[in-house]
Amino acid sequence: MPIIEHSRYRAPFLLSNGHLQTMCAGIFRRLNSGFFRRERLETDDGDFLDLDWAETGRSRIAILSHGLEGNSRRPYMIGMASALNRAGWDALAWNYRGCSGEPNRNLRMYHSGAIDDLDRVVSHVLRRGKHRTIALIGFSLGGNLTLLYLGSRGPSLDAGVRKAVAFSAPCDLRASALVLAKPVNYFYMRQFLQSFHVKIRRKMARWPDALNDDNFNRIRNFRDFDDRYTAPLHGFRDAEDYWSRCSSSTVIHRIARPTLIVNALNDPFLLDGCYPRKQAEKSQCVFLEVPASGGHVGFIQFGENGEYWSEQRAVEFLNG
């Protein structure tokens, strides 16, 4: 499919900087999540996933997957669910293990390749039998997760899943880890590591023989953290093995449903490997849109109903 180089998105005046868009979208946007209805999905391995439903009785539903250390109540999740409801879609915003405000029960946590949990959510929606059409929408880590799920399933994906959209997806995890390790991204890296540390300490209380945080202050980047925690906890050899096996760029060519990937050129979390141009050019299903601006899960717009451009673009693609 064609690469959409000339995106219609234009950043507001004085907000074209990628860092500004990234931070402003997360810090200053305030939305009410009171319309969500929470359900706890018990998993077959003795754990749970907390799901937030925004249903208006439609036969179409979009499943929303959040970013790293995010949750269903992040502004981009609430904004997307609201926009979908207005456009005739139900929405389901799910929380990864340990991201809903309560530590999960098992030693394992979530990671960029945990497509088994996304499959559990999709299967749960299908079993309910209320929705004939399912779409998938992912943000950041959730974007990579969505693309990896679609590509891994390929043509065998359930026919009920019709379309997908991924915003700010780190399709190449190694490339994203390298750019976030740069000094210019110190603020983001520090925030992630502080959040990780809180979760590790909570896990230690339940699994004292399996985890410790000795010298955690020496962890400076994702390579350090993934080598020490993510890889051994989830069956990978090391960070490089984890990144290689869980990067959606390796399977995007196998996606068999119409899929839109929107990655801004000024996204501070992405490097060249995160823009899968060759895969999109050869695919019959994948569209890659590359706006000049947008930041990381930014795409700020001061429009009708307070909707951001990303929400309007997703609805446009799903309804197109």
What single DSSP character describes residue 221?
A: S
Pairing mode of beta strands 286-289, 3-4: parallel
DSSP states of 3-72: EE-S-S--PPTT--SHHHHHHHHHHT-----TT-EEEEEE-TTS-EEEEEEE--S-SEEEEEE--TT--T
Is residue 158 part of the annotated active site? The answer reads no
How far lies 6's CA from each of 122, 288, 311, in Å? 33, 11, 18
Q: Which of 72, 140, 247, 248 is catalytic?
A: 140
Is residue 197 part of the annotated active site? The answer reads no
* Separation between Cα atoms, residue 291 and residue 216, nearest integer Å: 38
Q: Which of 66, 172, 296, 310 is catalytic?
A: 296
Q: Which of 66, 90, 267, 310 is catalytic?
A: 267
Question: At residue 164, what are phi and psi to the nearest 5 degrees?
Answer: -155, 155
Is residue 45 part of the annotated active site? The answer reads no
Contact (CB, 8 A) for 298 and 121: no
Question: At residue 60, what are phi and psi to the nearest 5 degrees?
Answer: -115, 140
* Separation between Cα atoms, residue 112 and residue 242, nearest integer Å: 9
Burial of 29 (C-beta count, 10 Å sphere; 0-12/13-18/19+):
middle
Residue among 60, 5, 84 nearest 316 (CA): 84
- Please name the residues in contact with 275: beta carbons below 8 A apart, sequence gap of 6 or more: 171, 263, 288, 290
| Displacement of CA 170 from its chain's centroid (Å) | 9
Q: Active-site residues: which are they? A: 140, 267, 296
